[in-house]
Copies of this chain bind each other. A is one copy, B any other.
Amino acid sequence: MTNKSPLQIARAAYKPKLPLALSGAVKVIEGEKTQSVDNQAEIQAKFPNTYGLPVIRFEADSSTKNKSKEAINVGVILSGGQAPGGHNVISGLFDGIKSINKDSRLFGFLLGPDGLINHKYIELTADIIDEYRNTGGFDIIGSGRTKLEKEEQFDKGLEIVKQLGIKALVIIGGDDSNTNAAVLAEYYKKIGAGVQVIGCPKTIDGDLKNDSIEVSFGFDTACKVYSEVIGNIQRDCNSAKKYWHFIKLMGRSASHIALECALQTQPNVCIISEEVEEKNMTLDDVVNYIADIVARRAADGNNFGTVLIPEGLIEFIPAMKALIAELNDLLAKNKEEFAAAADQRKYIIEHLTEANAAIYASLPLGVARQLSLDRDPHGNVQVSLIETEKLLSEMVGNRLAYMKAEGKYNGSFKPLHHFFGYEGRCAAPTNFDADYCYALGVNATQLIKAGVTGYMSSIRNLTKPSVQWMAGGIPITMMMNMEQRNGEQKPVIRKALVKLEDGPFKKFAAKREKWARETSYVYPGPIQYFGPSEVCDLPPMTLVYEQQSK
């Protein structure tokens, strides 16, 4: 590899700070037996061999007895969307197994689970690992979205695992990938394959967390990149004083990213999908809420502002959800008739139930078209392609025109639009994520050495300095419940949405009136890697407020 930027070269030398518990030999401490968060009987029935295992904690051990020094071969898979720090998990794993025995070997399966199934892999040697320390991206071995869930995939994978003498597979992924890791662990245990499976909690979306997993890796870095550009836009906004910036943020269903960015940057408006659903708000309610803030600011002479919008909003508006469901159904059943209709908009309005037809008719034309035309191969609306930021700004504009006619608004409204997502998924990890990920990797090695399977690598106490972090493992089944997926009840890790009763949302809710009316923007600036600790080493704000509220 050539062509490195000066920062990349300098950052390669960073040595992640390990928790004290993982700095040398460890003692394995077993906790109580565990239960799944819900549906205990069903989950236990699905995981007879890996259910109910104890939580594991590691402590530093100064004794030297019974320390196995046997070489271990490990396979690693990156699964799903990129998140900053994946390369550090892998370098932690590498250093971990090499510190046990220099003949240990690490194999990386290429382009996600496909690499395991199709036997595509490379050996990750020191020269490769050193090229990727502290870098963003998943390009060391690539990632992929194939779901590892069928027994024939597991069997196919086992062939190459056996061939390479792999003792354990480490799967770095989000909630679905870790659910599948647990299923794979159970299967290999059941057939006596002698292969352990360990998961690592990855996702920028922040929706893989619970009592045992404080935060998924990558969330911190991604949010700091988004907060940097939001802060820059807010500074622009407050200098030009003439635009309203509507900023959509990646994050799938949950609004964790929007909430973290709101706490970091103090925008005038931030919509939290979970609150919209909880309060059963309509699209008009959301539009009116924003329009009222625009009007109040205009009354103060401030015809500018910023609005943060979570990617998944549309699906959390109950009425929109109902419209989308009926549209999916209608268009799937009447595909030819719809395609042949002279006026497709009219066709839709005439065939929907009255309530949904009224909502559809109220949507801006561009969005209505996206709802009816941009459909996936199964005929479903592609919600992630809907430009919610434009939808909202157009409807806010209409509402303001109406308010103006009523004499309730007298300002100018010029919206601009942004969507941030791909900018943050592969940034070089912050010190927090670099340390956290490296620790997750080293910790995974200890779980392998402890001989367990179906565990997730767990590092806790993350709001403290990294030397004080706690290391251990959590049985993945402990995080599960049964949920409806594609028409079947399945055991899955419960997705963590924003909780309205928790610290982060309450902090936001207590401030938002002030932020709406006043201009209280904060400019976080770009991620710093070399400066003072109070600039470079901060954990996510949502994590801090969550821990405080516990």
CB pair A530 B527 closer than 8 Å: no
Is A354's CB within 8 Å of the partner chain B? Answer: no
CB-CB nearest in chain B for A137: B235
A8 to B231, CA, bound (A): 11
Q: Would you give the 0/1 interface string for A375-387, flagging 1 where the beta carbon is closer than 8 Å to chain B?
A: 0000000000000
Query: Closest approach, in angstroms, between the C-beta of A153 and any C-beta of chain B?
Result: 21
Question: Which B residue sits closest to A537, measured CB to CB?
Answer: B6
Binary interface profile of A, 405-447, with partner B (CB < 8 Å = 1, else 0)? 0000000000010100011111110000000000000000000
Q: Verify A418–B428 contact, CB threshold 8 A.
A: no
Q: Which residue of B lies closest to A7 (CB)?
A: B525
Interface size grouping (class) on chain A: 35 or more
Residues on the B chain within 8 Å of A393, using CB: none
Q: Which of B3, B136, B232, B530 contacts A427 (CB 8 A)?
A: B232
| Residue A528 is within 8 A (CB to CB) of chain B in the complex | yes
Known A233-B423, A245-B422, A426-B235; contact A5-B136, beta-carbon cutoff 8 A: no
Can you list, as one digit per residue, whether each of A258-285 has a CB less than 8 Å from chain B (1) or not (0)?
0000001010000000000000000000
Q: Interface with B: A138-146, A308-316, A458-466, which one?
A: A138-146
Whether a CB of chain B sits under 8 angstroms from the CB of A82 is yes
Chain B positions within 8 Å of A525 at CB level? 5, 7-8, 11, 427-428
- 1/0 per residue, CB under 8 A from B, across A61-95: the answer is 00000000000000000000110000000000000
In contact, A138 and B239 (Cβ under 8 angstroms): yes
Copies in the assembly, this chain: 2
Chain B residues with CB under 8 A of A521 = 3
Tell me if A526 and B524 are in contact (CB < 8 A): no
CA distance A82 to B531 in the complex (A): 27
Q: Does A150 contact B (CB under 8 A)?
A: no
CB nearest to A1 among chain B residues: B520
Min CB distance, A207 to chain B, in Å?
Answer: 19
What separation, in Å, do the CA atoms of A534 and B9 have in the docked complex? 10
CB atoms of A523 and B5 under 8 A apart: yes
Q: Which of A81, A111, A526 has the most CB of B within 10 A?
A: A526
Residue A236 CB within 8 A of the other chain: yes
Contact with B along A515-550 (1 / 0, CB 8 A): 000001111111111111011001000000000000
**Bound Cα distance A189, B245 (Å):** 43
CB <8 Å contact, A10 and B532: yes
> Which residues on the B side are within 8 Å of A233 (C-beta)?
422-423, 426
- Minimum CB–CB distance from A419 to chain B (whole Å) comes to 8
Task: Known contacts A6-B534, A137-B236, A535-B6; decide if A523 and B428 are in contact (CB<8 Å).
Answer: yes
Using Cβ atoms and an 8 Å threshold, which residues of chain B touch A424?
232
Instruction: Check if A239 sits within 8 Å of B6, measured CB to CB.
Output: no
Q: Are A527 and B529 in contact (CB under 8 A)?
A: no
Question: Which one of B6, B241, B422, B532 contacts A236 once the chains associate, using CB atoms below 8 Å?
Answer: B422
A213-241 contact mask (Cβ, 8 Å, vs B): 1 or 0: 00000000000010011011101101111
A135 proximity list for chain B (CB < 8 A): 235, 523
Interface check A485, CB cutoff 8 A: no
Given contacts A137-B238, A235-B426, 20 further A-B contacts (CB under 8 A): A5-B523, A7-B525, A7-B531, A10-B535, A82-B235, A82-B240, A111-B241, A136-B235, A136-B523, A139-B238, A142-B240, A225-B229, A225-B232, A229-B423, A232-B422, A232-B426, A236-B422, A245-B422, A427-B526, A528-B529
Query: Can you name 5 A-B pairs with beta carbons within 8 Å?
Result: A3-B521, A137-B236, A225-B526, A236-B422, A530-B531
